[in-house]
Amino acid sequence: MNLRPQNGFTLIELILVVVTAGLIAAVAVPSLMKARDAADSAAAVGHLRTMLTNQTMYKSQSGRYARLSELNSFSDGNLGRVVGSTLRHRDFIYLMFPNPTNDSLRTEYNIIAYRIRSGRVLSQYQMAENGSIVTVLP
């Protein structure tokens, strides 16, 4: 009887490889998503700090703090894309609250940064003119 050696993998071996890969993906993907969200949140806080620096420079030149559209123009458009009274940068939306007047901008401002996904606010930060950044969500 002449037996030839079989080449290839058995069905059981292939199923084991696919199941193992699935288990690794099920553990790794949520961790990667959390790490990505944490990096995006850190970038938003860094962006708020950049806005603080630019606000300080703007006030020293103009005698008042800037609205977001003015601040973006002052920064040569590097802060994001202005949409109405908001500023968009990556996944975050930045807005001033309450809507500032020229008088209120002489002494104070508040900028809120938030990220929305699937109709839910996932994270939110608030910064005042004194540079304090408060995590509102999560």
Per-residue confidence (pLDDT) for residue 95, from 0 to 100: 96
**In what side-by-side order are the strands of the sheet with 81-83?**
81-83, 86-89, 92-96, 110-117, 120-128, 133-137
User: pLDDT at position 79, please?
Assistant: 95
pLDDT at 2: 62
Antiparallel, parallel or unpaired: β 120-128 and 81-83: unpaired
> Domain extents for the chain?
11-137
* Total-model pTM: 0.79
Mean pLDDT by 10 residues, the chain (138 residues): 74 93 92 89 94 96 96 95 95 94 94 93 94 91
Alpha-carbon span 29 to 17, nearest angstrom: 18
